[in-house]
Amino acid sequence: MVGTTTSSDASRQALRACRLFADLDEVSLGLCAAALRPRRFRKGETIFHTGDPGDSLFLVSSGAVKITIPPDDGSEPAILTTIGPGGFFGELSLLDGAARSATAVALESTETQILRRDAFDTLVDSQAAIRHNLLVTLAGEIRRLTAQVEDLHFLDLPGRLARHLLRTIVIREGLDPATADELTGEHRLPWPYTQSELAGMIGGSRQSVNRLLADLVDEGLVRFEADDLVIPDAARLALAARR
């Protein structure tokens, strides 16, 4: 069965790239790979909604997904985070059996691998390495959210924008989030976001974000090149993020 073999290879690829399955021996990796089912989403497609029941974890092989909270009126949704290749999402409902707490939407064409609850439970129970990685990742998630609450409390909009950009660098480059303030030098970020989305991420209006971005460009702190955002001097931007 050529199809099956190909699918399994793709699954192995996805696993290797994902922090959750790091440090796993070949045999265990094969076991995990067998439990995965691939699923592709088109740009803008909704993967699940707030309030849905959920019993699957999604690994992102390629593309990107935004985790949002829809407003009940028609305004801009809040964007909690975005997940890129190697990341995963949807684990909460697996852990506590409750409904989805947020909505997941594909930012671009995205390839995912789905892991269902029974397989997930088996893996977590039998593989100490996966268990450890899971706990570390959840802790990281909590720290990220804590930092977000902190920003919303203490920083004004320009500050939140600057800090958000720094954090995005750190995430994209896989660095320690705690070092966001000590970044230096030039960085280049792929930038698939609209200004409305950016506004949703930092808790501001589209118009304000537009103005603040223009300010940053004027001051030479950031620059747009094709589909990338270039930050010539991260240290200088970090200064602008100070409380």
Partner DNA sequence: CGTCGACTGTCAGCCAGCCGACGTTCTTGG
Partner DNA sequence: CCAAGAACGTCGGCTGGCTGACAGTCGACG
- Binding residues for DNA, rule: CB under 7 A, are 75, 156-158, 194-196, 203-208, 210-211, 213-214
Strand runs labelled E in 118-233: 187-190, 223-225, 228-231
Answer for which of 42, 118, 139, 184 binds its own copies (CB under 8 A) is 139
Identify which of residues 26 and 72 has a Cβ nearer to its own copies in the complex.
72
Q: Are 76 and 206 in contact (CB under 8 A)?
A: yes
Distance CA(107)–CA(144), nearest Å, equals 21
Q: State the binding partner of 213 from DNA, its own copies, none, CB within 5 to 8 A by kind.
A: DNA
Tell me: does residue 44 bind its own copies (CB under 8 A).
Answer: no
Strand runs labelled E in 130-232: 187-190, 223-225, 228-231
Distance CA(117)–CA(131), nearest Å, equals 14
- Phi and psi at 242, nearest 5°, equal -55, 140
Q: Helix, strand or coil for residue 26?
A: helix
CB of 165 to DNA, least distance (A): 15
Q: State the binding partner of 207 from its own copies, DNA, none, CB within 5 to 8 A by kind.
A: DNA
Q: Are 88 and 206 in contact (CB under 8 A)?
A: no
Tell me the number of residues near its own copies by CB under 8 A. Answer: 39
CB of 234 to DNA, least distance (A): 22
The residues that touch its own copies, with contacts defined as CB under 8 A, are: 69, 71-73, 78, 80, 91-92, 95-96, 98-99, 101-102, 124-125, 128, 131, 134-136, 138-143, 145-150, 152-154, 178, 203, 243
